[in-house]
Structure 1
Amino acid sequence: MREIVIGGAQMGPIQKADSRAAVVARMIALLDRGADGGCDLVVFPELCLTTFFPRWMMEDQAEVDRWFEREMPNGATEPLFARARERGIAISFGYAELTPEGRHFNTSILTDRTGAIVGKYRKVHLPGHAEYDPDRAFQHLEKRYFEPGDLGFRVWRNMDAWMGMCICNDRRWPETYRVMGLQGAELITLGYNTPSVNSQMSDEGPEQRLYHSELSMKAGAYQNSAWVVGVAKAGDEDGHPLLGGSVIVDPNGFVVARAETEADELIVHACDMDACTFGKETIFDFKRHRRIEHYGRICSQTGVEHPGD
């Protein structure tokens, strides 16, 4: 048995006025809770050092850049890395990355038990829009503030398992999981900051949005025989509600742990990486069953093209 005890560290709201030091202190408290509970890995949400700033329209690039991290770890996050090293726990968390070349990405990282960064992922499927939209109930300007990720969907050998990462909207795209599944991913971690309401369809409330969030992760886990750990930032951020619903999903698509609040909360499950083997060697044995000669459209076109167009 290759068991990894995983903690999903859901975080409650982070207000615009909250300092990074205050947020990191909350993360350390969740990390300590995980360590006391026997966790080997603690997973935090997307953009977990700040409020979800893409909801704000900003014209001044200097104002935008203050939400980004220029290095990792840095002065604000070093206490988190130090505590993770001290307690021998691997961590994964998301943040806004500003590279030395001036590029902006929505990023997540993965460490080993010594606090060394062993993996980095940059969000590929950016939702929302790039310019102010007066017809929306609120803005979702990820396409304005971030570039699409340029690192692809990789997996890394860490803690005797093959691990991959994605972020938020990536979880809704089956290609995300399949590319990692084709590399033997046994564990896929992801953080998200998902609004509780749809800015373009107010009738879609939290119940429907939780259903679709969970559906996508359960399908990705089952269809690739991998554990999926989805961790939310939740609650009312500056008057804008975020969805909770953090889950740990097993390789058969069953939820084995689920958050019950919209606050800082730790969900924990002992995940046996060997539980991935049966699915990978039977119904989802890709080498035996995939028919790539019929899949060309997936990588040759983006928008819908009807036959005969």
Structure 2
Amino acid sequence: MSKLSVVSIQLTSGADWQVNLNTVLDLMTAALVHAPRLIVLPENVFLFDAKQMRAVAEGEATEQILSALSVFAQQHQTYILIGSHPMAFRPNGEQVEGGRVRQSSILISDQGEQVARYDKIHLFDVQVADKAAVYKESRFIEPGEIQATVFDIDGVVLGLSICYDLRFPELYRLLMEKGADLIAVPSAFTHRTGAAHWHALLQARAIENQCYITGVNQAGWHNETRQTYGNTVAYSPWGERLACLDDEQVAWLHFEVDTEYRQAIKTTMPCAEHRRIVS
């Protein structure tokens, strides 16, 4: 059985990737007090501006960001999960067409290597009663292939997902079937939808899959129309809220994944063995 020290970082990213990168590096450095083996960053962490996505994906910014995180990971012997970053190429090396990008969650190892990548499947094309009113991610983002992406860190299996995926429990079932002990949900959940559904959905995914869940969100006002909900949080396999930030904090939270505790929950209530409807 294994344990994993995890830090989830919350911030208010803007349109300047260099400012965002400096803020992340400062927060990660401060969070080293917890000796994390995994640091999880939110969606759109280095760029909160859809119109710049393709330019940043193709320019030197992406190379500089990945290089800086690689150096940090090696120096401090920690894994870093970039919640999402725009990528101009698909995992197979093909270029994304039509001026769009992939919204990619990238895991960097403690050796500074990119060891896993998940491209967001479900795109946020909705109408919300807030100042932004209409969201249409498909204008700028190409959906990824339907797959469940996991990676083993010190005996703890990490599952990857992004934001709007949270409303589609079938993805989390696939991650559970692939052995995920912890599922990360890096997000830029709007304040309105977050206040209504964020905690309910995260807690439900944790309980029904009997795994740890961390929802790692953006927080506050990013421009004159876009406000995100914050409330970065961690839930246990029993649905306990382990730690939570508020809706505007630029900060981090720390929690520990304990696979022995998860196994005890699964043993005493073997829901997976009782499933009768399996796709």
Do the aligned partners of residues 27 and 136 (structure 1) sit closer, same or farther apart at CA in structure 2, a change above 3 Å counting? closer
Q: Deviations over 1:88-122 (max 9, x none)?
A: 11110111111053212111012222222221111
Residue pair 1:196, 1:243 contacting (<8 A) in 2 also: yes
Residue pair 1:172, 1:213 contacting (<8 A) in 2 also: no
- Structure 2 equivalent of residue 85 of structure 1: 74
- The TM-score, its normalising length taken from structure 1, stands at 0.79
CA distance in 1, matches of 2:69, 2:252: 16
Matched, 1:49 2:49: no
The amino acid across from 1:9 in the alignment is: I
Residue pair 1:33, 1:266 contacting (<8 A) in 2 also: no
Q: Number of aligned pairs?
A: 268
CA distance in 1, matches of 2:61, 2:183: 21
CA distance in 2, matches of 1:159, 1:110: 14
Question: How much does 1:79 deviate?
Answer: 1.6
Do the aligned partners of residues 181 and 27 (structure 1) sit closer, same or farther apart at CA in structure 2, a change above 3 Å counting? same
- Structure 2 equivalent of residue 26 of structure 1: 23
Do the aligned partners of residues 242 and 169 (structure 1) sit closer, same or farther apart at CA in structure 2, a change above 3 Å counting? same
Question: How much does 1:69 deviate?
Answer: 5.4
- Structure 2 equivalent of residue 65 of structure 1: 54
Alignment equivalent of 1:281, drawn from 267, 273, 279:
267
**Sequence identity, in percent?**
24
- The TM-score, its normalising length taken from structure 2, stands at 0.87
List aligned pairs for 1:193-208, cutoff 5 A: 193-197=188-192
Residue pair 2:73, 2:108 contacting (<8 A) in 1 also: no
Do the aligned partners of residues 280 and 128 (structure 1) sit closer, same or farther apart at CA in structure 2, a change above 3 Å counting? same
- Structure 1 equivalent of residue 246 of structure 2: 260
- Structure 2 equivalent of residue 120 of structure 1: 117
CA distance in 2, matches of 1:11, 1:136: 21
Residue pair 1:105, 1:122 contacting (<8 A) in 2 also: yes
CA distance in 1, matches of 2:67, 2:53: 23
Do the aligned partners of residues 9 and 137 (structure 1) sit closer, same or farther apart at CA in structure 2, a change above 3 Å counting? closer
RMSD: 2.3
Q: Deviations over 1:99-154 (max 9, x none)?
A: 0532121110122222222211111111216xxx8x98523121111122115112
CA distance in 2, matches of 1:228, 1:72: 30
The amino acid across from 2:164 in the alignment is: N
The amino acid across from 1:247 in the alignment is: V
SS of the residue 2:102 aligns to: strand
- Structure 2 equivalent of residue 224 of structure 1: 209
- Structure 1 equivalent of residue 170 of structure 2: 175
Residue pair 1:164, 1:187 contacting (<8 A) in 2 also: yes
Do the aligned partners of residues 85 and 72 (structure 1) sit closer, same or farther apart at CA in structure 2, a change above 3 Å counting? farther
- Structure 2 equivalent of residue 141 of structure 1: 136
Matched, 1:102 2:95: yes
SS of the residue 2:103 aligns to: strand
Matched, 1:212 2:197: yes
Do the aligned partners of residues 153 and 185 (structure 1) sit closer, same or farther apart at CA in structure 2, a change above 3 Å counting? same
Q: Which has the larger radius of gyration?
A: 1
CA distance in 1, matches of 2:80, 2:103: 17
CA distance in 1, matches of 2:174, 2:55: 33
Q: Deviations over 1:32-54 (max 9, x none)?
A: 1221222121100011111142x
SS of the residue 2:23 aligns to: helix
Do the aligned partners of residues 9 and 136 (structure 1) sit closer, same or farther apart at CA in structure 2, a change above 3 Å counting? closer
CA distance in 1, matches of 2:58, 2:241: 33
CA distance in 2, matches of 1:233, 1:136: 16
SS of the residue 1:238 aligns to: coil
The amino acid across from 2:139 in the alignment is: R
Residue pair 2:163, 2:186 contacting (<8 A) in 1 also: yes
Residue pair 1:27, 1:80 contacting (<8 A) in 2 also: no
The amino acid across from 2:63 in the alignment is: N
SS of the residue 2:7 aligns to: strand
- Structure 1 equivalent of residue 219 of structure 2: 234
> Can you give the 5+ residue segments of structure 1 that lack an aligned partner in the other structure?
199-208, 297-309
